[in-house]
A and B are shown apart, each in its own frame.
Chain A
């Protein structure tokens, strides 16, 4: 009965190229593989699975790294049953039976399970004989049914003897003498049928072609290492699916540097892929490309490359920069509100002179200072208040937050690839140029934007308010209780006094602090309210304007209702203020009450939820929780 659940025969069908099937398979083995990478911080682990379809097993199944955590959290283990949702076949050396199944998407149907059936390993012959890869193999099959089996089992030379022309094995590529002919199809150069998306490139593929635009190209840089002097250049390749960094060293540097022009589209095939070196490479791709001896690059005909975007941007709003850590890289777009003159500074460390220029970049919600260097600084003209996009700019934490261009930063004025250009232009011309926005580069901890959002339990756990100075924090919470009867009090009419007066019940009111008796008083808010979020609840005190914002009526109005004993009206006001999800900015300070030290929370401001920016903040936080290799 259990056997019915596995899709028998699926493994062979996958290897044959029928990858649209969504088979149910069982994991019969998991082996971690340390991937070679230059990145010292990354431990790019890759898991190799042996899968069973009930009848056969296949041991070369690579799990996409984004699913590594399934194994690490023990959801995916030996004997787990999975459904394969997206898979690709990589033929490393089909003649010798070396193929791999790349699992891009799977779903765990059952974590714990008994071994189903008694599957046996797929015979090599079945793997070799499958598919329509090389014409050669099929002709030999027709003539001598037994021959391929023995050919695979014995050395490679036997295979060549079966047929006069050389087979395209992995070794043959090196023999090609720079003549980029592909053996079997006889095509000279780019195979335009095999164009794939940049975001599917990985080191385990052999035959692929991409069609990409050069969005950025560096200068040729020379270096010296143990092997002697060398040179290199890098460029960023962009297509509809994503981007990738490519580097050409020495011979390839000479070959391709002048050929590749920024903004033009090229077909590229046969380059090496390895894990991206995060020290130098900030593109949005796990891998990076290196041009090698076999790399073929062909210019696209005019008109063929129209659907390839010029550049891939991943903009964050200037606001969000406050949430990012210093020295991280981001993409940002805004309008240049002001530009400084060229300045020259001398580096204390190197005694070298640097030219720089600062500009103030604004978007609808905030502004930030951006620094340009060297040639970029000299050439920049912000007098027309252009919309400028920065790709790969570094975040600094001088005086709050600033942005600084680095060698690989791309600056684009009025970029056409994004709607933001038009949006910002319209906004700036209509309102933006005349308003003053909160400046992230003017000191830390001023204003709402700098105040970090925490949960109520975080506030307790982190001991906010226990220090000598008060702590400020924002909370997204719901008003769950509001004390109606003590919402307002009679306050001394004297400006800046604020003390509660005693009602003498004869039309006069006494203030002990001022030591005077008055004929009148002012109603003032001092609301005790409980706010709650997912993690807990907290009583806070809300005064003055904030209370008025919350209840929607002035203290005076509420006080009058209280005098008139209009209970139902007051209840109505309170009811409308309850169960509202708002952002509360709180001041936490420990105060001594007799022998007790309690933290008092005062509300500094109440604001409506901005769901858009809240959502973006959550997405940011989730992304930061992803392991590095993702």
Chain B
């Protein structure tokens, strides 16, 4: 059972080598298809490295599960994509506030799923 900490862009450094979950908007897809640039809930840009090519659209919201490596990038093992209808009303700012609450009160939010 893996426990992925939900974080945003600014928290990457703190979670070095830990399993994390990041939700963000795909801004750029490297031509090779294996590297994507993600704008996180706190409007930071981070780099996500995929082990294999995944079909995501720029501008779509995805969830990335993986580990933070030494270069402050995410080595991704799972990507969760959503239908446009599902993310149409997603309040990214509120998600960011939620993520910060999880950090602020770690004793009140479960991580082990």
A residues contacting B by CB (< 8 A) are 66, 75, 85, 107, 611-612, 615-616, 619, 622
The yes or no answer to B98 lying at the interface (CB within 8 A) is yes
- B 75-106 contacts with A by CB, 8 A: 89, 91, 94, 97-98, 101, 104, 106
Residue B14 at the chain A interface, CB threshold 8 Å: yes
User: Do B91 and A612 have beta carbons less than 8 Å apart?
Assistant: yes
Tell me if B70 is interfacial: C-beta within 8 Å of chain A. no
Looking at the complex, which one of B89, B101, B106, B107 makes contact with A619 (CB distance below 8 Å)? B101
Once the chains are docked, how many angstroms separate the CA of A553 from the CA of B70?
57
CA A430 to CA B106, docked complex, whole Å = 44
Instruction: Check A615 against B101 for contact (C-beta < 8 Å).
Output: no
Question: B94 contacts which of A66, A85, A616, A622 (Cβ < 8 Å)?
Answer: A616
> Can you pick out 11 interface pairs between chain A and chain B where the beta carbons lie within 8 Å of each other?
A66-B104, A85-B14, A107-B106, A611-B89, A611-B91, A615-B97, A615-B98, A619-B94, A619-B97, A619-B98, A622-B101
Nearest 10 Cβ contacts at the A-B interface: A615-B94, A612-B91, A619-B97, A85-B14, A622-B101, A616-B94, A615-B91, A612-B89, A612-B94, A619-B94
Main secondary structure of the interface of A (DSSP, over half): helix
Q: Chain B's nearest CB lies how many Å from the CB of A84?
A: 12
Q: What chain A residues lie within 8 Å of B106 (beta carbons)? A: 107
Q: Which residue of A lies closest to B108 (CB)?
A: A622
Closest to B105 in A: A622
Q: What is the chain B residue whose CB lies nearest that of A73?
A: B107
Q: How many residues of B contact A (CB 8 A)?
A: 10
Task: Determine the distance from Cα of A85 to Cα of B10 in the docked complex, in whole angstroms.
Answer: 13
The secondary structure that dominates the B interface is helix
Is there an interface contact between B94 and A75, defined as CB atoms closer than 8 Å?
Answer: no
A75 touches B101 (CB 8 A): no
Tell me the total A-B contact number using a CB cutoff of 8 A.
Answer: 19
- Distance in angstroms from B45 CB to nearest chain A CB is 17
Residues of A within 8 A of B104 (CB): 66
Please indicate the chain A residues that have their CB under 8 angstroms from the CB of B91 in the complex. Answer: 611-612, 615
B84 CB to nearest A CB, Å: 17
Minimum Cβ distance to chain B for residue A310 (Å): 19
* A616 neighbours in B (Cβ, 8 Å): 94
| CB-nearest residue of chain B to A622 | B101
A612 to B97, CA, bound (A): 12
How many angstroms from the CA of A612 to the CA of B90 in the assembled complex? 8
User: How close is A609's CB to chain B, nearest CB, in angstroms?
Assistant: 11
Cβ-defined partner of B107 (8 Å) among A75, A611, A612, A622: A75
Q: Which chain B residue lies CB-closest to A66?
A: B104
Give 14 A-B pairs besides A107-B106, A612-B89 with Cβ atoms closer than 8 angstroms: A75-B107, A85-B14, A611-B89, A611-B91, A612-B94, A615-B91, A615-B94, A615-B97, A615-B98, A616-B94, A619-B94, A619-B98, A619-B101, A622-B101
Nearest-CB residue, chain A, relative to B106? A107
The chain A residue with its CB closest to the CB of B103 is A105
Task: Across the interface, name the chain B residue whose C-beta is closest to A610.
Answer: B89
**How distant is the Cα of A85 from the Cα of B104 in the complex, in angstroms?**
13
Q: How far is the CB of A482 from chain B (nearest CB, A)?
A: 27
Chain B residues whose CB sits within 8 angstroms of the CB of A85 once the complex forms:
14
List chain A residues, Cβ under 8 A from B89: 611-612
Residues of B within 8 A of A622 (CB): 101
Nearest Cβ in chain A — how far from B18, in angstroms?
Answer: 12
CB-nearest residue of chain B to A614: B94
Taking each of B91, B94, B98, B101, which has the highest tally of chain A beta carbons within 10 Å of its own beta carbon? B94
**CB of A509, distance to nearest CB on chain B (Å):** 46
A615 to B101, CA, bound (A): 12
A622 to B107, CA, bound (A): 14
| Docked CA distance A612–B93 (Å) | 10
In the bound complex, CA of A622 to CA of B102 (Å):
12
- Least distance between A608 CB and chain B CB atoms (Å): 11
Residues of B within 8 A of A107 (CB): 106
Q: Note all chain A residues with C-beta closer than 8 A to B14.
A: 85
Q: Residue of A at shortest CB range from B14?
A: A85
Residue of B nearest to A20 (CB): B13
Bound CA span A622–B105, Å: 11
Complex CA–CA separation, A616 to B95 (angstroms): 10
Residues on B with C-beta less than 8 A from A612 are 89, 91, 94
Bound complex: CA A66 to CA B101 (Å): 13
Nearest B residue to A630 via CB reads B104
